[in-house]
Homo-oligomer: A and B are copies of this chain.
Amino acid sequence: MVIPEHTAKAFDVDLQELSRMVAEMGGLTEKQIADAVDALSRRNPEQARQIVEADLEIDALQREIEAKAVLTIARRQPMAVDLRELLSALRLCSDLERIGDLAKNIAKRVLVLDVELHSSRVIRGVQHMGTLVLAQLKQVLDSYAGRDLEKALAVWNGDEQIDAMCTSIFRELLTYMMEDPRNITPCIHLMFCAKNIERMGDHATNIAETVYYMIEGHSMPDLRPKGDTTTFGGLRPG
């Protein structure tokens, strides 16, 4: 089938516009992660409220990207490789939307964390997890924009470190909870926050798999490294 030139051009314009929208959504999501971790570290309820608000923007953008991608598929009838590109945009914005939700969940906890946390060490640990996840997300969005398989694989392999850090934070929080019942409530909030960040890392890994699929034309063999033992060992200290 020969595609008329104007169709091919229109398709390119659609793809470019979609890439722009995905990049915009990625940028907003990165900002939400950074802000959520910041709001948590400084226990800033005003910032937390802004994060909850801004999540609506990310959700709206996802809807726009979905609509645009599906309409492009219907109008331009792309073939194999281009179809993969559009499906990848759909998958990617779904993961970004979930990351945004997780950042919002952290912000909601900031709004109720009224108890003083004696341990700035744990907070630093959570901050460090946030920094790592943010770096992972930036890198995987770069790998998407640049069709860079190597970069995507680096993200895929880097998730282990975040999982390990989550496990170590869980252990530490558990110790504080055992020490003094007054620590239980704030520590549970922090556990959920750490778990949320760990889940963000999983979504960055999903995006890496999408980039792999987009470039290679088939799914990644399922060999995901699983350093996350929060479900397992993290709650068995000592």
Contact = CB atoms under 8 A, between A and B. Distances in A.
B74 A87 contact: no
B112 A232 contact: yes
Given A71-B83, A75-B77, A83-B70, A189 B108 contact: no
Interface of A is mostly: helix
The contact size tier of chain A is 35 or more
A67 B74 CA distance: 14
Contacts of A184: 174, 177-178, 184
Stoichiometry, copies per complex:
2
A231 B112 contact: yes
B94 A235 contact: no
Interface in A66-119: 66-67, 70-71, 73-75, 77-78, 83, 86-87, 90-91, 94, 98, 105, 108-109, 111-112
A157 interface: no
A172 B87 CA distance: 44
A235 B174 contact: no
A181 interface: yes
A16 interface: no
Nearest to A228: B108
A20 interface: no
